[in-house]
Structure 1
Amino acid sequence: MASPTAATITPTGITAPTYAQVLAYLQAQCRSIYGADVYLEADSQDGQYLAVQALAISDANAATIAAYFSYSPSTAQNAALSINVKINGITRAIPTNSQDDLTIIGQAGTVINNGIAQDQAGNNWMLPATVTIPPSGTITVTATCATIGAVTAGAGQINKIVTATRGWQSVTNASDASAGAPVETDPALRARQKTSTALPSRTVLEGTVGAVAGVAGVTRYVAYDNDSKVTDSNGIPGNHLAMVVEGGDATAIASAIASKKGPGGGTYGTTSITVLNVYGMPIIISFFRPTYQAITGAMSLKALPGYTTAIGAAAQQAVSDYVNQVAIGGGPSGTVEWADALTAANSVPGSTTFKLTALTLSGPSGAGAPDVPLAFNQAASCTPASVVLTVT
């Protein structure tokens, strides 16, 4: 029979006594040996010794519970989660560099080796090791910023050729760069693991989404399948699949879509890549890169005892973090939701030291009502400095 201080596993899961329960049990056992009048309070040597033993037992129970939960991707954390997801053929994303799709124009047959383009801020963007300009004179390739982290570049800002090559005439980026990301968080990795299980899917769409989610560097994605015969409200033609994908190599994404999409259906988007299908035939795959919508905020706080500027800055950061994790297209609601931003601000440590008296979110089209709508291919972006804080 297990000691009442040990963790136990039952059909409903694992449980363990609290530190206070363990300490009370040890004290009771000690009194049963030495008598009920033995002094075991915290200011006694015997009491402190029992407390050390109780803490050691409680820590061992906590480690046992953590090990128990580490076997499931839904509850594992940190290194344990990284190990678990390998069974699905994926790994935790490491810090990444910003990427953008560049349109290369030049003479047909020109080979660009280790090409480098530059944006207006002086950041270098590395082309694939070898780029061959096709007979059309135009090719789209994914360039990677040489500087790690969230380097930004607006549409048309990457327009300078650094490695001059005969036959390479111009370079530009049709869309904003996809900013680099930090180490993938546990919630994001769990969500990607759940999506990756759709590869051997029940539907073609699930398989296509799962394949795109598994492309290295892809951070956010959404699929729109218009299976009707008429153009839908998003402008997607009938019988076409439109995917909006942030991050990842454009050719790898196109290959993933081509490998899983159903026959006969077209693809729709502003980025078009020619790849080979399973029969070795060239086909054009189109998809969208997200366009970024800057979201700003105005937040008013009433300071209470204990309030500090650090707490106010944490509230600004919380609103910014919420906006930046909103799904492409705003998710099911199609918006950056005011209520969720409000909840984020009120959930920071120290939130009892202030009253949030007002919060307004605004997008390029003006103030929200109170939510800020997003188009199907738009992604929200926000910085803490964009959330203006007023404290009274």
Structure 2
Amino acid sequence: MATPVCTIDENGIHAPTYQACLDYFKAEYRGIYGQDVYLENDSQDGQLLALFALALHDANSMSVSVYNAFSPSSAQGVGLSRVVKINGLRRNVATSSTVDLRIVGVAGTTISNGAAADDAGNRWLLPVNVTIPPAGEITVTAIAAQPGDMKAAPDTITTIATPTRGWQSVTNPSDAVPGAPVERDAALRRRQAVSTALPSRTVLEGIVGAVASISGVNRYRVYENDTDITDVNGIPSHSIAFVVEGGDAQTIAETIARKKTPGAGTFGSTTVTVIDAYGVTHDVRFSRPVQVDISVAIVLKPLAGYTTGVEESIKQAAVDYINAVEIGGGEARVVEWGEVIEAIKSIAGKDAFRLVSLDLSSPGGPGTPDITLAFDEASHCDIADVTVSIAP
């Protein structure tokens, strides 16, 4: 009879089933005590062999888990956090909301432990020391003083909370990036896969890998216009355009400047001044995504086993998919209605309800049924934006 323990070959690891383990013990037992011995489930000897088989099956399962923990594509939890260190990565911890602020003032002014405030009175903390360059303005990334999903629409952070001589004004050209929970396994796997592009053969792949590895970066998208004319997105000829959610603006700009080829242009709504090794200043441009808030209206028919827990899982599945859609919506540039349905149908309680209808909507109107995104837009959804109704 085949071995009851795990085997490893060129195709990976293979573990026998619990029944195979039990059959092995029964066969060996009968080989010792005779073929006529009674070993069914209602016998003491049969129950003892079942315990042996279960223990062996559990050990086999543990061996499979250990084997899988050595690969980023199959490792989970702490094991995944450890294995990605070989790529110089760390799992992103829970973060506060961040926002890019445009600071205007007298050249040479140093702002120490500065803070700005939005229209709702929330404080946003600047880096410890900010020095206004000769151009008279600088873009820095501020962090919300309070943890959690702090929101701020464009041009709503306009109050200088720590008045400093020479600091004249502050504003946020783009939406704040919501604080994120601890990075999920799926997101860390995607980031690990992209990080391997750092030593790539193409320059653009190398820049993408470097930007993706920056602490705090959640989603990102890069566009390249290698033609002689401005493209449909407004990107000038022979330029690259990064759209980056999260991460420090100065670090992102310095990374792009360090990795890109000489003479290649950068395009975006955020401009950061970078000083090279020779003391020459360069304006590096990239964009922060424009947040598109998406609402989901679900109508379903509950079946046996439907609970409030199932309803919460439905909402979370929709939120997780929408918040994971890449900036610009992928090749089709949409948040796909069908993918939201697939995400909901994949939850553990999928047999406890029947989906009657699902509608997506955004500030631009209802989906048809998908939601179309511009090249620099990022979809966003909160649990509160998902409603579940019971069909009459």
Q: TM-score, normalised by structure 2?
A: 0.95
Contact 2:138 2:273 in 1 (8 A): no
Q: Check whether the contact 2:272–2:284 (CA below 8 A) recurs between aligned residues.
A: yes
Partner of 1:255: 254
Partner in structure 2 of residue 61 of structure 1: 60
Q: Tell me by how many angstroms 1:134 deviates.
A: 2.3
Q: Is the counterpart of residue 343 in structure 1 residue 342 in structure 2?
A: yes
Give 1:381 shift: 0.7
**Which residue of 2 is the match for residue 89 of structure 1?**
88
The yes-or-no answer on 1:181 pairing with 2:191 is no
Greater Cα offset, 232-241 or 181-190: 181-190
**What corresponds to 1:316 in structure 2?**
315
Structure 1 partner of 2:21: 22
Aligned to 1:151: 150
Query: What does 1:198-217 align with in structure 2 at a 5 Å threshold?
Result: 198-217=197-216
Q: Give 3-state SS (helix, strand or coil) of 2:13's partner.
A: strand
* CA deviation after TM superposition for structure 1 residue 353, in Å: 2.1
Query: More displaced, 138-147 or 76-85?
Result: 76-85
Q: Distance in 1 between matches of 2:196 and 2:343?
A: 30
Deviation at 1:241, TM superposition (A): 0.7
Distance 1:244 1:126, change over 3 A: same
**Residue 74 of structure 1 corresponds to which residue in structure 2?**
73
Distance, in Å, in 1 between the alignment partners of 2:80 and 2:349 is 30
Q: In the alignment, is the contact (CA less than 8 A) between 2:160 and 2:170 conserved in 1?
A: yes
1:219-368 to 2 correspondence within 5 Å? 219-368=218-367
Given residue 272 of structure 1, which amino acid in structure 2 is its aligned partner?
T
2:117 aligned with 1:138, yes or no?
no
Q: Which moved more, 1:344-353 or 1:281-290?
A: 344-353
- Spell out structure 1 runs of 4+ moving beyond 6 A: none
CA offsets 1:295-345 (integer angstroms, 9 cap, x no match): 112211122233223323321221122111110000111000011011112
State the Cα distance separating 1:278 from its structure 2 match. Answer: 4.6
- CA deviation after TM superposition for structure 1 residue 160, in Å: 2.4
Question: What amino acid does structure 2 have at the position aligned with 1:177?
Answer: A
Residue identity opposite 2:144 in structure 1: C
Letter in 2 for 1:156: D
Deviations 1:265-289 (A, max 9, x none): 1100110001023544211100000
Q: 2:335 and 2:50 mapped to 1: Cα distance?
A: 50
Does residue 108 of structure 1 match 2:107?
Answer: yes
Question: C-alpha deviations, 1:147-198, integer Å up to 9, x for none?
Answer: 2332221112222222222222222211111112111112111111111111
* Partner Cα distance (2:277, 2:62) in 1: 49
SS at match of 1:339: helix
Q: Assess if the C-alpha contact under 8 Å between 1:229 and 1:238 holds in 2.
A: yes
**What amino acid is the match of 1:201?**
S
Post-superposition shift, 1:3?
7.2
SS at 1:57's partner residue?
helix
Secondary structure of residue in 2 paired with 1:222: strand
CA contact (8 A) 1:259 1:278 kept: no
Using the alignment, how far apart are the partners of 2:379 and 2:226 within structure 1?
A: 27
322-331 vs 303-312, greater mean Cα deviation: 303-312
Shift in Å, 1:98:
1.3
Q: Normalising by structure 1, report the TM-score.
A: 0.95
1:117 aligns with 2:116: yes
Q: How far, CA to CA, are the matches of 1:74 and 1:206 in structure 2?
A: 20
Further displaced range: 273-282 or 206-215: 273-282
Tell me the residue number matched to 2:382: 383
Identity between Structure 1 and Structure 2 (%): 53
Which deviates more from structure 2 when the two are superposed, residues 40-49 or residues 60-69?
40-49
Please give the alpha-carbon distance, in whole angstroms, between the structure 2 residues aligned to 1:246 and 1:277: 25
Name the CA distance, whole Å, in 1 between partners of 2:65 and 2:310. 31
Unaligned stretches of 5+ residues in structure 2? none
Compare 287-296 and 26-35 and name the one that shifted more.
Answer: 26-35
Range moving further from structure 2, 222-231 or 29-38: 29-38
How many residue pairs are counted as aligned between the two chains?
391
1:54-84 deviations in Å (ceiling 9; x for gaps): 1211111111112222222222222222222
Single out whichever of 247-256 and 350-359 deviates more from structure 2: 350-359
Name the SS of the counterpart of 1:258 in structure 2.
helix
Name the amino acid aligned to 2:16: P
Supply the AA of the counterpart residue of 1:360: D
